[in-house]
Amino acid sequence: MKPIKLIIPIILAVVAFLFFKLYGGEIFSNFNHPIRYEKYVDKYCSLYKVDKNLVYAIIKTESKFYPFAKSRTNSKGLMQISDETFEHARKAIEIKTDDIYNKEENIKVGVWYLSYLFNRFKDERYVIIAYNAGPENIIVWKEKGYLDAKKGYLEWNIPYIETRVYIDKVLKSKKYYENAK
């Protein structure tokens, strides 16, 4: 009877090890880099011609996919939309609700805003920084030579530490989403 009591835990440990080896990475990556609200992300990325991997990376970085997130600067929802950006979007696109936390409308406004920033700045790195620090800062920082387009973003002299961390997180998450497929 004793050998059976010893064998059962060993078998369970081997099965658990094999299960984690086969499926554990996928389970962890889905938890750490989820894909949620796919219907809305696909719809508005297609409409506004924005890379959905970038949108998922921004949602992950901004709100960790929590639809009722609110920042210390009063940005709201999945894509952390400010009231000012929401009102700016309202003048350009149809918004069906005043509820900035509405998942679909928040994603719609966020993706539209990314498209607006791409039309304005062209370079994805500038777009990401503008999404975080505001487009007016991109203009000033470029004029001061802080953001040399010929250099990698890690070499840039971005004045805000939060923005330096932000662009790095977004680009790393974007690469993860690109490679996850």
Tens digits of residue pLDDT in 121-148:
999 999 999 999 999 999 999 999 999 8
pLDDT tens digits along 157-167: 999 999 999 99
pLDDT tens string 66-115: 999 999 999 999 999 999 999 999 999 999 999 999 999 999 999 999 99
pTM of the model: 0.82
Counting Cα atoms < 13 Å in the Cβ hemisphere of 123 gives 16
Say which CATH class 36-179 falls into: mainly alpha
CA distance 93 to 88: 9
Nearest residue to 59 (alpha-carbon basis) of 100, 103, 92 = 103
Give alpha helix (H) positions in the chain: 2-19, 25-32, 38-48, 52-63, 83-92, 103-121, 124-133, 135-143, 161-179
